[in-house]
């Protein structure tokens, strides 16, 4: 971790991504303090007002403050991203370890299931899962989590297969060290680098997937704010009140951009081939 910190300090692009992600997380955590109004509060006399001193980013068709809704939308996006990726990373890590270490029929069963999940486009699979479970925030997180499991499983499996053939693992097996200890003490530390990078990159994918599902009406339900649902509501008013769509879209773009910058930087920092 000290090496990563020192190398990240010298990477300007990585620092931009890191501080951007940190800022979004702080905004999400402090949403009740930062937001000037309740995100569902309606000011009927101020409908479709442009940005001004009272409403910094304007108001929507119901007179709700867009700035407050965007801030609370960040809270939803970060929560969905963390929980969904946590689900996918947790199951993917276990499945990848089992498939890569034991191989044989265990590997065949796990990877054939992953192949079936990979056969569907990510958004289409998430849509199908939400349609079966029902449109709400919890089911959205479950659906996105399931979609990300195959990616983590393949990455961990490939890393485990590579590490398992190294001399120190073969030596540990030859002297009778038990399998759980070999996995935890000898294999896991060596596969964390690509795993952590994938977590960072998957967070941006999860945030975008949540926005897409909410845009289609299958994510978080009204009147609770979500960047995707705000874009969906803005479709009918884009010509007369473009700020309703511009600001949620900007937050989506900036957030995903920062996560991708951080993920690419971590991948370069943790790749042993690029270390001097």
List the CATH number of the domain containing 133: 1.10.3720.10
- pLDDT at residue 5 is higher than 80: no
Please state, for a pLDDT cut of 70, what percent of the chain lies above it. 95
Q: Please tell me the predicted confidence (pLDDT) of residue 120.
A: 87
Q: Please tell me the predicted confidence (pLDDT) of residue 164.
A: 81
Q: Please tell me the predicted confidence (pLDDT) of residue 3.
A: 63
Q: Please tell me the predicted confidence (pLDDT) of residue 193.
A: 79
If pLDDT is split at 50, 70 and 90, which confidence band does 276 have? very low
Count Cβ atoms within 10 A of the Cβ of residue 10 and give its class: 0-12 exposed, 13-18 middle, 19 or more buried. exposed
Give the start-end residues of each E strand in the chain: none
- pLDDT at residue 94 is higher than 80: yes
Alpha-carbon span 225 to 107, nearest angstrom: 42
Range of the domain at 204: 2-274
Q: 219-231 pLDDT, tens per residue? A: 888 788 889 989 9
Decide: 206 and 200 in contact? Cβ < 8 Å: no
Distances (CA, A) of 243 to 55, 150, 250: 12, 38, 10
Decide: 242 and 258 in contact? Cβ < 8 Å: no
The average pLDDT across 200-210 equals 90
Alpha-carbon span 21 to 246, nearest angstrom: 20
Count of domains observed in the chain? 1
Q: Please tell me the predicted confidence (pLDDT) of residue 271.
A: 60
Q: Enter the tokens of residue 153.
A: 């499983």
Decide: 58 and 49 in contact? Cβ < 8 Å: yes
Which residue bears the tokens 């499945």? 95
Q: Please tell me the predicted confidence (pLDDT) of residue 183.
A: 77
Q: Please tell me the predicted confidence (pLDDT) of residue 177.
A: 76
Q: Which of 41, 242, 240 is nearest to 231 (CA)?
A: 242
- pLDDT at residue 199 is higher than 70: yes
- 228 Cβ neighbours under 8 A, 6+ residues apart: 210, 211, 212, 213, 214, 215, 216, 219, 248, 252
Decide: 195 and 156 in contact? Cβ < 8 Å: yes
Q: 145-180 pLDDT, tens per residue? A: 999 999 999 999 988 888 887 777 778 777 777 777
Alpha-carbon span 67 to 56, nearest angstrom: 6
The average pLDDT across 36-49 equals 90
Q: 210-255 pLDDT, tens per residue? A: 999 888 888 888 788 889 989 988 888 888 889 999 999 999 999 9
- pLDDT at residue 117 is higher than 80: yes
If pLDDT is split at 50, 70 and 90, which confidence band does 136 have? confident
Q: Please tell me the predicted confidence (pLDDT) of residue 104.
A: 85
How many residues appear in the chain? Answer: 276
Alpha-carbon span 170 to 272, nearest angstrom: 22
Mean pLDDT estimate for the chain: 86
Alpha-carbon span 43 to 65, nearest angstrom: 8
Q: Please tell me the predicted confidence (pLDDT) of residue 154.
A: 92
Q: Please tell me the predicted confidence (pLDDT) of residue 161.
A: 86
């Amino acid at each position: 971790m000290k090496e990563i910190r020192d190398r990240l300090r010298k990477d300007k692009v990585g620092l931009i991504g890191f501080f951007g992600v940190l800022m979004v997380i702080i905004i999400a955590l402090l949403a009740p303090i930062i937001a000037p109004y309740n995100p569902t509060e309606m000011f009927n006399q101020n409908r479709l007002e442009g940005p001004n001193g009272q409403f910094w980013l304007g108001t929507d068709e119901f007179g709700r403050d867009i700035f407050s809704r965007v801030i609370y939308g960040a809270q939803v996006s970060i929560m969905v991203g963390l929980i969904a990726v946590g689900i996918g990373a947790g199951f993917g890590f276990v499945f990848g370890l089992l498939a890569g270490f034991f191989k044989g029929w265990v590997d065949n069963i796990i990877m054939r299931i992953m192949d079936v999940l990979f056969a569907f486009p990510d958004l289409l699979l998430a849509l199908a899962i939400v349609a079966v479970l029902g449109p709400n925030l919890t089911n959205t997180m479950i659906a996105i989590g399931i979609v990300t499991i195959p990616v983590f499983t393949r990455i961990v499996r490939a890393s485990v297969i590579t590490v398992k053939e190294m001399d120190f693992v073969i030596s540990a097996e030859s002297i009778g060290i038990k399998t759980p200890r070999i996995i935890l003490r000898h294999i896991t530390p060596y596969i964390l680098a690509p795993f952590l990078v994938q977590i960072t990159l998957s967070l941006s994918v999860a945030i975008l997937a949540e926005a897409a599902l909410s845009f289609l009406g299958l994510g978080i339900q009204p009147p609770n704010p979500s960047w995707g649902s705000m874009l969906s509501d803005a479709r009918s008013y884009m010509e007369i009140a473009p700020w309703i769509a511009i600001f949620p879209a900007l937050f989506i773009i900036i957030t995903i951009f920062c996560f991708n910058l951080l993920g690419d930087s971590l991948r370069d920092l943790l790749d042993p081939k690029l270390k001097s």
